[in-house]
Chains A and B, each alone.
Chain A
Amino acid sequence: MDLQTPPQPVPDADSAGFWAATAAGELRLCRCADCRRWHQPPLERCPACGGATGFELVSGCGRIKSFIVVRHPAVPGYLEDLPYVVAIVDLDEQEGLRLPGRLLDADPARVDVGRAVRAEIVDLPGGDFRVVAFRLAGPAP
């Protein structure tokens, strides 16, 4: 049993654009070409208007909606990082546009709901994927 390798994503036709972007060092999310709404997770058509979607750059800036401190190794990978912080981040682009991600080099005691963060694209151990992680940006609100 491999406990060192974190879970690897399985891209599909709807998410391929996201993973192609991270591989190129960019954070692109699904956006409706017609009504301009953002959608995460990505969809082939916009649920609001049925329009075609594509992947567009986002700033990667947002705030911590919530976070946990992982102390019990229930999922493979990052064992040497325990305890580590995983956050769900509300991105600035649109209310409710969210991404989950590890908070890099964060002291759990300094993390709080509402703190500003910035996305950073990092290599995912165990394969060729690159993923979107976050880093604290600026002081507590």
Chain B
Amino acid sequence: MKRRAVLVGIGRTAYSRESGRSTLAMAAEACRAALDDAGLSAAAVDGIANFQVMDSVMGASVAHAVGIDELAWNLDLVGGGNFATSVVANTAMAIEAGACEAALVFRSLNGRSGRRFGRADGAVRVSGENQFAAPHGYLTPPQWMAMWAREHQSKYGSSCEDLGRIAVTQREHAKANGNALARRALDLEGYLAGRWINEPLRVYDCAFECDGAVALLLTTHERARDLRQLPVRLLGHAESTGHGGSWVSWPTFTSMYSAHAAPRLWARTGLGPDDVDVACMYDCFTYTVMVTLEEFGFCERGGVGRFFAEGRATYGGDVVVNPHGGLLSEGYIHGLNHHYEAALQLRGQAGSRQVRDAMIALVTAGAGPYGGAIIYSREA
């Protein structure tokens, strides 16, 4: 029988505005928690992977910190949230290829008290493609995303209210999540009263930057039989990177990587949007949720506002989008917290926010020109 990788353990730290801790300490805590969750000893782990933007710690250091001093497989990816699914998929492929037997995947960052993605402070010198845009003050993801959202509003007539309904629904979900950092009530009026960051995006359109770490543990299906939790299966993965990863040259700002990754994912899994119970959509910004929901086929172009307004993106609707509150309201652990939530939901351990009979979860990662997606399923 083919060797198959499954997700057997999840771990995390508390999420906060200021951890006061090293990314190494947080990564080690999350990895230990994932091992405890699975009931697997560190001695059985021979692989580790992470992604980061040189704001974190290397995998080998974290392995050492939890007592693993020899690794058969080690992957350190340098990049953003677009790697939040491919880092897991690559780990599964390494296990299935026999490169290792059990592997940890982590993301650890002081994303609020340390380096923040939404800012470029101080006198900066900018190379690469950004050398052309940065001198105009155009350098941060919230600006790129606002630039893209404007084209959608112009082309499809989507509105700020449509984006607001995404933020409001996810905040409603976060209220049932004790780990979420943003739980204060938010209605559409409150959303619209939020301060502008870059028109047409307001503060509530942006991820809630925070400090913390998440870790996942994968191993073979065979080994999972002896472990504590119901294993979560990976049914398929797809990704796409285009136009040199450029946020300027990408042809149409109303479309993202998902235009290519979504059909690839559905073809590989034989599934479609109707099969998905829980959709952990990468939500660095509300606009990412808008376009990826369209392109993964949950609703028609320009229909996302209505999709949320009619309750189709929440409990009792078509699919529950980001039941944990997402990066917008739970916190920005760069998308690895989406996998944590998907596993909780498929294991039936999500407590008061449990999606009833959740069998299939979609996790997406990334935005703009690059990203990917994984389909997880509950063990039948």
Decide if A96 touches B132 in the complex (CB within 8 Å). Answer: no
Which residues 104-151 of B sit at the A interface, judged by CB distance below 8 A?
Answer: 118-127, 129, 131-140, 142-143, 146-148, 150-151
Residues in B with CB closer than 8 Å to A18 are 132
The CA of A131 and the CA of B131, in the complex, are separated in Å by 10
**CB proximity of B204 to chain A, nearest CB, Å:** 13
Decide if A131 touches B135 in the complex (CB within 8 Å). Answer: yes
**CB proximity of A68 to chain B, nearest CB, Å:** 4
The CA of A99 and the CA of B200, in the complex, are separated in Å by 20
Decide if A41 touches B132 in the complex (CB within 8 Å). Answer: yes
A17 interface contact, C-beta 8 A:
no
Q: Which of B132, B150, B249, B251 contacts A68 (CB 8 A)?
A: B150
Decide if A74 touches B142 in the complex (CB within 8 Å). Answer: yes
Residues in B with CB closer than 8 Å to A8 are 123-126, 135
**CB proximity of A39 to chain B, nearest CB, Å:** 10
Please classify the interface of chain A as helix (H, G, I), strand (E, B), loop, or mixed, using the class held by over half of its residues. Answer: loop
Decide if A74 touches B146 in the complex (CB within 8 Å). Answer: no
The CA of A7 and the CA of B5, in the complex, are separated in Å by 46
User: Closest residue to A131 on the B side, CB-wise?
Assistant: B135
B197 interface contact, C-beta 8 A:
yes
Q: Which of B118, B132, B133, B151 contacts A66 (CB 8 A)?
A: B151
* Residues of A that sit less than 8 Å from B by CB: 1-3, 5-12, 15, 18, 40-41, 65-72, 74-78, 83-84, 86, 88, 96, 98-102, 108, 112-114, 124, 126, 129, 131, 133
* Residues of B that sit less than 8 Å from A by CB: 118-127, 129, 131-140, 142-143, 146-148, 150-151, 154, 195-200, 246, 248-249, 251, 253
A71-B198, A72-B142 known; 4 other A-B pairs, CB under 8 Å? A65-B253, A74-B120, A86-B147, A98-B248
Instruction: Pick 13 A–B contacts, CB within 8 A, sort by A.
Output: A3-B121, A9-B127, A65-B253, A68-B150, A68-B200, A71-B196, A71-B199, A72-B142, A72-B195, A74-B143, A75-B138, A86-B138, A113-B150
